[in-house]
Chains A and B, each alone.
Chain A
Amino acid sequence: MRISDIAANDAPMVQLVGPDGIPTGETDVGLSDDGLRDALRLMIRARRLDRECTALQRQGELTVYPPFEGQEAAQVGSALALGPDDFVFPSFRELAAAIVRGVDVVEYLEYHRGTWHGGPYDPIATRFAPICVPVATQIVHAVGWALGAKLDATAACALAYFGDGSASEGDFHEAANIAGVFRAPAILFCQNNGWAISVPLSQQTAAPIADRASGYGFPGVRVDGNDVLAVYAVTKAAVERAHAGDGPTLIEAMTYRIGSHSTADDATRYRDEDEVDVWRARDPIERFRRFLASSDVADDGFVSTCEAEAEAWVAEVRAGITSVGAPPVSEMFDHAFADPPAALLRQREHWIVDG
């Protein structure tokens, strides 16, 4: 017997709508026509804001910004599948998911404006944890939260977003192993966008990330991350599994980062434009637009309305975030401890009063 190599890139994946918008599987995923239109509306809105954020960074209104263009279906499809009590543990590129979950976007963007760190919005009320930058650490938080929900006997699950690069971290393994041992209601949602800054998937891992799940004792599924219906269906199944007490699921959504890692990065230094073109042809919004048009769910007029609505909304966000100034120096001292120790209060006074 010969043991053959399995490349991380070629493995079967769940797909319901092909890149041309033509169904390749069962497209009735339980969403009403309004629900389907909502998914398109949210993706259009997310992309418009993403492009605005890059523009705001170029204009000096935001500090470094990590664009997510190309990953709209992966984020919108998965976030839409969650229930109101479920909790999201994002990394740092999940603005589209934050929009779906109703996070105050101006507050969210305070992180990118540099006026506060990753939790300027209310994480508990929005059930959206602070932006988490050290990659993979948030997966463990999600599993801890999921275990807590299980101990409370509430039917709620945690979903952690992370990337293909994050999956190389030890925290991914510890989180997955702990989730398996405790059968925690957790969804480990990998957005495999092909690149970890400049390192391609082939240099990151030698096998499909979804395949790892069997080693932890729970299911793993690879899904076309640019097919919003497939992402929704797969995540919905994982949510139902978690709510039913059947434990965790690993989802690997195959997608692509059309832009650079961040506004401080230049992807042309390490990536062929030909590869980007291949993925542009798999665009998640255009695909879903065609599908909804051919299904008579959303016509061009609906799309125009969404675009106009997104334009107006982004103008509001822009006005909101550009009016946010630096917080008072005292805030630097006020949130380190619930009850600041005397020595810290003295330091605070020295900083503020004595200057």
Chain B
Amino acid sequence: MAELTMVAVLNAALRDALAGDERTLVFGEDVGELGGVFRVTEGLQREFGRERVFNTPIAEAGIAGMCVGLAMAGWRPVAEMQFDGFSYPALDQVISHIAKYRMRTRGRVGMPVVIRIPSFGGIKGKEHHGESPETYYAHTAGLKVVVPADALDAYRLLRLSIDDPDPVIFLEPKSRYWSKVEGEIEALTVDGPSIGEAVVHLPDGNDCTIVTYGAMRARCLEAATTLAEEGIGARVIDLRSLVPLDVDTLTRSVAETGRAVVVHEAPQTLGFGAEIAARIMEEAFDHLEAPVVRVTGPDVPYPPAALEQEYLPSVERIADAVRRTVAY
């Protein structure tokens, strides 16, 4: 069986979407000949032509704004922002138009738009290359926000996002781009959990629920393995989609474990962990044996490469948080 990287799988998802629907377009900065700075679009222009896979000028607001007009003309745009930290010029178009168009037009004009953004830290990137922008989008009503944690799920989530009638912000964890899973490109499938369904890993862990998404899922699973050796059973919920949020799976799990730790890279204040903690308070307060704990980045701008491992939640910090929660 071959080894597949998330980059190769995302590439396959785009290829299959382009082949499956001739209205699908892929565009962004350097996505043509080069295949994107991470090679996610490699070979697609050659295969589908310069009209369906094309470079744009360096104009993030322009790229997002074009999505609106193209969608109105009946196309399904899949746009790439080159990096998290370069996506901010597009926020006005995303917030003011892409998210609001269906509501503004009383449901007449939807925005079947996907904006892919290589996101999060952990790759020794320069400034502006390690940001966690998920809260900006999750707080914008009208958008769906999706974060895959592994290659196989990345295929499923990207295909489902492209097929979705509403706009999806697709945040790709850069630090997992080259992680490998066993599988065959031809066997990739959209079958499985859909957008809005969380997945519970290590469901036998009954002492604590670790809630996470994206690149942090791997660290949470590692922490859970360590904790299991100490006799602490921790299960890991991979949210997969922040909007819609699978509140039921979250509530059910916390009701069973009575304890929860939320893990993400983004700064703590108003990070997505705040929403998770609030939901648990609202829906599962009676089951709680301990306060919900957040393991996050600190409330500082993302640091230089030499310090990023101090910033990111480590396996040890996650395990410690679970230990404290269980001992509470």
Contact = CB atoms under 8 A, between A and B. Distances in A.
A129 interface: yes
B231 interface: no
A338 B56 CA distance: 29
B65 A171 contact: yes
Interface stretch (A53-61, A141-149, A278-286, A291-299): A141-149
B105 to A, nearest CB: 4
Interface in A143-182: 143-149, 151-152, 158, 170-171, 174-175, 177-178, 181
B62 A130 contact: no
A272 interface: no
B103 A336 contact: yes
A140 B61 CA distance: 8
B69 A147 contact: yes
A284 B244 CA distance: 53
B101 A170 contact: no
Nearest to A129: B72
B244 A116 contact: no
Contacts of A89: 69
A146 B62 CA distance: 13
Interface string A337-355: 1110111100000000000
Nearest to B74: A148
Interface stretch (B88-96, B120-128, B130-138): B88-96
A331 interface: yes
Interface in A110-140: 116-120, 122-124, 129-130, 132, 134, 137, 139-140
A283 B68 CA distance: 37
B1 to A, nearest CB: 36
A89 B101 CA distance: 14
B287 interface: no
A47 to B, nearest CB: 28
B142 interface: yes
A334 interface: yes
Contacts of B142: 336-337
Contact of A177 (B59, B68, B71, B72): B59
A269 B105 CA distance: 36
A119 B92 contact: no
Interface residues of A, number: 47
A335 interface: yes
A62 B143 CA distance: 31
Interface stretch (B34-42, B107-115, B217-225): B107-115
Contacts of A339: 165-166
A174 B106 contact: no
Interface in A298-351: 331, 334-339, 341-344
A143 B103 contact: no
A171 B102 contact: no
B204 interface: no
B247 interface: yes
Interface string A172-195: 001101100100000000000000
B73 A119 contact: no
Nearest to A338: B165
Interface string B36-67: 00000000000000011000110101101111
Given A174-B59, A177-B59, A336-B141, A144 B70 contact: yes
A134 B62 contact: no
A161 B248 CA distance: 47
Given A124-B72, A143-B65, A145-B72, 6 more contacts: A143-B66, A174-B57, A174-B59, A178-B62, A335-B103, A343-B247
5 contacts: A119-B104, A130-B105, A134-B96, A139-B65, A144-B71
Interface of A: 87, 89, 116-120, 122-124, 129-130, 132, 134, 137, 139-149, 151-152, 158, 170-171, 174-175, 177-178, 181, 331, 334-339, 341-344
**Cβ-closest 7 pairs across A and B:** A144-B69, A140-B65, A148-B73, A341-B244, A174-B62, A144-B66, A145-B69
